[in-house]
Amino acid sequence: MGAMTLVMAAVMVCVGAFSGFKSQLAVPFIVIAAAAFVVLKRIKYQYIIYGILALIVAYSIIEPFRSYLGRNPNVQPDSVSEMVDVLQKSYGERDRYQRAETPVLLSITSRLDVLGQTAVAIDYVDAGRLDPTIAEWMAEAIYLSPILAFLPRAFWPDKPSYSTGVWFNQHVRGSWYDSRTAVGMGPVAYLYLVGGLTGVLLGFFCIGILQAVIFEGVGRAGPGGLIVYFSVAMPLALLPTDLGVVLTSLIRMLPIAFLAQYFVLLPGRTRLSPTPPRQAPR
């Protein structure tokens, strides 16, 4: 790996640390390992190890740091020295607000456990703790997605963002003190919060239809269809938590993808178009 790549990774790690994004400490090393495998056909295990170690450090240091900023919204470190001071204070107070018996590795795996998050969300709804206005708000993100996709904020100054990660972490998971950490609940939990079991069945039925149209219909329609397919394949396959936001992004991306494939393939169409035969001179 070149020195420039390592410098860029170090910059991303520093920016992620100062911004409080845990994933940004580990992702650069994972990306380097994946790129090395694609280019060199070898697995760079050291970068995978670096990524795992960075993730452990993130949960040991960045998580208390974000919690500290959430409890003290007026604290805004503006320099490196202030940032270091806040990191020291947050690390010193971590035992007061975090359960000491929870190991770091367990905290990491619990964040990646979508099944566990789904179970917590189902229990939250079945116990009657869900505010109906929250369910309506989450449903709005789905059925208003066509409007949200194309209506700019200039015409809708109060256009909502419909991000549920922080709310889920505070109210459903019980991390009331942490106003900065967003936790993904998974699509099943999202639909269950919106409409219970009926919402899950109806939601995945509609998602299946959309996937079939994109994957089996558009994706098989030649090179242009492949361009459209790869433009929207990842969110449709992975199904991130905020389904309303995903639908908004898909609806916004599809026209762009159709236009992109048209202009990308236009030179080829021009070359392949038959030219009219020349008339013989009389």
Q: In a 10 Å sphere around its CB, with 0-12 CB exposed, 13-18 middle and 19+ buried, how is residue 167 labelled?
A: middle
Examine the domain organization and report whether 107 and 121 are in the same domain.
Answer: no
Q: For 80-139, what is each residue's pLDDT tens digit?
A: 677 677 766 766 666 555 544 455 555 555 566 788 889 999 999 999 999 999 999 999
**Domain limit, last residue, from 58, 77, 112:** 112
Range of the domain at 123: 114-270
Count: domains in the chain: 2
| pLDDT higher than 80, residue 257 | yes
Distance CA 224, CA 258 (A): 8
Q: What average pLDDT score do residues 4-29 get? A: 71
Q: State the pLDDT at residue 127.
A: 93
DSSP string, 32-89: HHHHHHHHHSS--HHHHHHHHHHHHHIIIIIHHHHHHHHH-TT----SHHHHHHHHHH
Pair 201, 156 in one domain? yes
In this prediction, residue 39 has a pLDDT band, given cuts at 50, 70 and 90, of confident
- The pLDDT value recorded for residue 76 is 67
The pTM for the full model equals 0.63
Task: Quote the pLDDT of residue 175.
Answer: 78
171 occurs within a structural domain: yes
Residue 29 has pLDDT above 70, yes or no: yes
Sorted by sequence, the CB contacts under 8 Å of residue 71 that are 6+ apart come out as: 97, 177
Does 183 share its domain with 65?
A: no
One domain, residues 101 and 135: no
